[in-house]
Structure 1
Amino acid sequence: MDKYVYSGKHWSELKFYDHMMTDALIKHILGLSRYGMSDAGEVFEVMGQMKSADERDWALAWGGMAERLKRNAARSESRGKKVSASSAYLRAASYYRFALASFSDVNDPVMEEYTRESISCYRKYLGLSGYPGEAIEIPYENTVLSGYFYRSPAAGEKAPLIILTPGRDTLGEDTVWVYDEALKRGIHCIVVEGPGQGAALRLKKIPFRKDWEKVVSPIVDYAAMIPGVDMDRIALMGISFGGYLVPRAAAFEKRIKLCIANPGNISWGKSIGGALEMAQKMPKALRPSMVDGLVRDYAWKHGVENSIDAVIRELKKYDNSDILDKLTCRTLVMDASADINPGEAKKFYDAINCPKEYMLFDDETMGQTHTQMGCYASASERLFDWIEDNL
């Protein structure tokens, strides 16, 4: 039989929306159906109900589906139908969360409302389903950071731990393709939304900070108090913007055995700030429509004035060039052939001198989109084959 030859488009080339961020989020949301966090019919229904690609229309469409499912879940729960209730609560939590993934109006009441509803529904899901996750609070400066500890039912008396740092736009529960797969393999997980992320940003107004070791070290301290965690086998993984943040943390926090950057990036500020500088030189009438929204989103998440100049100045601080030689633990750099910043992960890989490996996802191996959005099965299989060999 002749070997099959690809002749059409690869899935990563198919577009739901012209807006890059919105299109990526839809693929991410569909990808999470593998874990019961979405259902294809519900996703397409929301897309059909959107009046426009405006971020508030996006938020209200997802929020409407979340409300419907929350009512269904409560009805099932009142009748003692725990399986149905937990399933609906999980998807409701997801849709509230997705509503905020592309929404940056900090003064709109849905920001806080949907954040709290997502947390509430997710915790009801955990309570009803028996999924091995529990809410935790990490002492952090003069407050606490919220997160979850997931204990693997397959773990031995002492088991390794993965600490997960999400990105700028998705929230902690979106890392399910990592923590769920870890649990199956006898590995515990901690997922924490740090400054600039999730509830820390939306409820406590804590913006991002560049010295991410100040966030990770308290998490490692907390892990040391959890029974069954092998403190000699701790991995730190960052996804999207988290992939930029975690190498710096691992450079200073020497209790980390493995660092996984998905994708790697020497200078996030140069990558994004450079694009904004190019847009700044263009006449305002000719700038891409997404620029103003991007500036507003970065200003909010980084705690600076809503202006392109202020955002560019702040982003220049996000540069790991001066700590690359301090990264000594074994490091995996993940990359994707259709990434939004092509070539940056390979530059990071080439620049570090610690024990290292490079993992490229392309059209052949699948997962070729940024952080493998929408293709989490093949991504988690390759990732965890490597983790099991090294942790």
Structure 2
Amino acid sequence: MSILKKNNGPMSKGPSIQSISGDHWSELKFTDGIMTDAIMKHVMGLCYLGMADAGEAFEVVSRLNDKETDSWENTWADLASKLKTRAQNSEKNEKKISASTAYLRASTYYRMATMYMEDVHSPKMEEYTRHSFDCYEKSLALSGYPGKYVEIPYEGTYLPGHFYQSPYAKRDKAPLLVLTPGRDTWAVDTRWMFDAALKRGIHCLTYDGPGQGYALRFQNLKFRPDWEKVMGPVLDYAETMDCVDMDHVACMGFSFGGFLMPRVAAFDKRIKLIITDPGNISWGKGIGERLAMIQKMPSRMRPKFMSVMLEDYAWKHGVPEEAVVDELKKYDNTKILDKVECEVLVLDGTAEMTFGAAKELYDALVNAKNKDYILFDDDSTAQCHTQMGGYATGAETIMDWLEDHI
């Protein structure tokens, strides 16, 4: 790991999962698809938190069949169903600990099934989401983990989330870390950060905003570029909590959520600091260019994952596939970066998909009260996108910085 360290850029294409050779682990490919390989790295990173198990994850990899329609969601859902049944049997026999851990992993695997579905409008999308929700809540209740489900008032409806109250808070009112997930992961997937924060006496509020997790799948809320109108109600809700010190509020976003953080800091001055993981000035530009190339390919010639990706973007943004590229042009923070005046931590990694974009953001934050840039290099083992697969190292590094600044 290094700070402002010169590097050689993104990794080249590496070996397959069948090989243990290669310069760094980030070169390993669990699947042939960009999206599914990233999800697998994410799942492997959750193992140390008990949200997944390595043997179970590798079993899924071994059973995937690209020639079989719906192989991805069926394989994950089958595993989740088996674990849910096991958890129910343990609960029935008053084995609460075993039940809680099995429910937790089942919840994860149901979510994985929804992250790459060939038909996003399939009834299975809501079915798996409901199972994931129920299993997670069962795990919380049985384990005694200090979290509770909350519904944050938002434009006549609500944003689903969780408030986690730190049992290690040193005073009546403690700092708050608000966590915003990315385009594909869910708020509950940020456990690697909120668990680390709780242990350091920091309360956490997580939520699924429009286009994300439960909010998308249960309420059909779509992404919007003016995210300050999403974060505003979240912070309003935080103000109602007697245990939260609103003078010490940090907001962190992951992947697409990381791109959104400068926007919310520019318009809401209640935020003391933001962490953008990774940094990016114009999310729409890079992604839009890739999707434009996909659109130019005849649909019959596209690799399956490309068609699934295009449909997924259209669904989450609430536009037809042909309008996705123009919609993404709205996701550009160039004109508002001079309004960011709080403290900022910009994260980057040598195996990031948009390597170099974070440093451009760091340089553009000319009015930030204080700013730092941390590069996760190859030796850190947390060099992948949002530290996937290296969440332990990522959490330790980020929290060391946060404790000094919040």
- What is the TM-score with the length of structure 1 in the denominator? 0.95
Contact 2:382 2:393 in 1 (8 A): yes
Give the superposition deviation at 1:285: 6.3
Q: Counterpart in 2 of 1:144?
A: 158
Give me the whole-angstrom Cα distance separating, in 2, the residues matched to 1:54 and 1:340. Answer: 28
Moved more, 18-27 or 172-181: 18-27
1:197 to 197, 212, 215: 212
Work out whether 1:352 is the aligned partner of 2:365.
yes
Give the superposition deviation at 1:235: 0.3
Give the superposition deviation at 1:287: 4.9
Work out whether 1:381 is the aligned partner of 2:401.
no
Contact 1:195 1:209 in 2 (8 A): yes
Q: Counterpart in 1 of 2:258?
A: 243
Letter of the 2:73 counterpart: A
Work out whether 1:168 is the aligned partner of 2:183.
yes
Give me the whole-angstrom Cα distance separating, in 2, the residues matched to 1:128 and 1:77. Answer: 9
Give the superposition deviation at 1:135: 0.3
Letter of the 2:236 counterpart: D
Letter of the 1:336 counterpart: G
Aligned residue pairs total 383
Q: Give the 3-state SS of the residue equivalent to 1:189 in structure 2.
A: strand
Give me the whole-angstrom Cα distance separating, in 1, the residues matched to 2:105 and 2:267. Answer: 38
1:153 to 129, 143, 167: 167
2:134 to 120, 127, 134: 120
1:130 to 135, 138, 144: 144
Q: Counterpart in 2 of 1:42?
A: 56
Q: Counterpart in 2 of 1:4?
A: none
The runs of 5 or more residues in structure 1 that have no matched partner are 1-6
Work out whether 1:23 is the aligned partner of 2:23.
no
Give me the whole-angstrom Cα distance separating, in 2, the residues matched to 1:318 and 1:54. Answer: 36
Q: Counterpart in 2 of 1:3?
A: none
Q: Give the 3-state SS of the residue equivalent to 1:371 in structure 2.
A: helix
Letter of the 1:132 counterpart: P
Give me the whole-angstrom Cα distance separating, in 2, the residues matched to 1:208 and 1:127. Answer: 31
Give the superposition deviation at 1:30: 1.0
Give the superposition deviation at 1:197: 0.3
Q: Counterpart in 2 of 1:319?
A: 332
Structure-2 change in CA distance of 1:52 and 1:286 (3 Å): closer
Give me the whole-angstrom Cα distance separating, in 2, the residues matched to 1:121 and 1:110. Answer: 16
Q: Counterpart in 1 of 2:9?
A: none
1:372 to 373, 378, 387: 387
Q: Counterpart in 1 of 2:354?
A: 341
Give the superposition deviation at 1:42: 1.1
Q: Give the 3-state SS of the residue equivalent to 1:203 in structure 2.
A: helix
Give me the whole-angstrom Cα distance separating, in 1, the residues matched to 2:300 and 2:97. Answer: 53
Structure-2 change in CA distance of 1:42 and 1:281 (3 Å): closer
Contact 1:237 1:246 in 2 (8 A): yes
> What pairs with 1:1-80 in structure 2 (closer than 5 Å)?
8-52=22-66, 56-80=70-94
Give the superposition deviation at 1:55: 7.3
Structure-2 change in CA distance of 1:79 and 1:283 (3 Å): closer
Work out whether 1:262 is the aligned partner of 2:283.
no
1:102 to 116, 121, 124: 116
Q: Counterpart in 2 of 1:306?
A: 321
- What is the TM-score with the length of structure 2 in the denominator? 0.91
Q: Give the 3-state SS of the residue equivalent to 1:364 in structure 2.
A: helix
Structure-2 change in CA distance of 1:304 and 1:85 (3 Å): same
The runs of 5 or more residues in structure 2 that have no matched partner are 1-20
Q: Counterpart in 1 of 2:377?
A: 362
Letter of the 1:317 counterpart: K
Give me the whole-angstrom Cα distance separating, in 2, the residues matched to 1:285 and 1:318. Answer: 30
1:84 to 86, 93, 98: 98
Contact 1:104 1:300 in 2 (8 A): no
Aligned-pair identity (%): 56
Give me the whole-angstrom Cα distance separating, in 2, the residues matched to 1:312 and 1:388. Answer: 39
| CA offset digits 1:12-54 (Å, max 9, x no partner) | 0111112111111111101101000011111122222323276
Contact 1:243 1:265 in 2 (8 A): yes
Letter of the 2:250 counterpart: A
Structure-2 change in CA distance of 1:55 and 1:296 (3 Å): farther
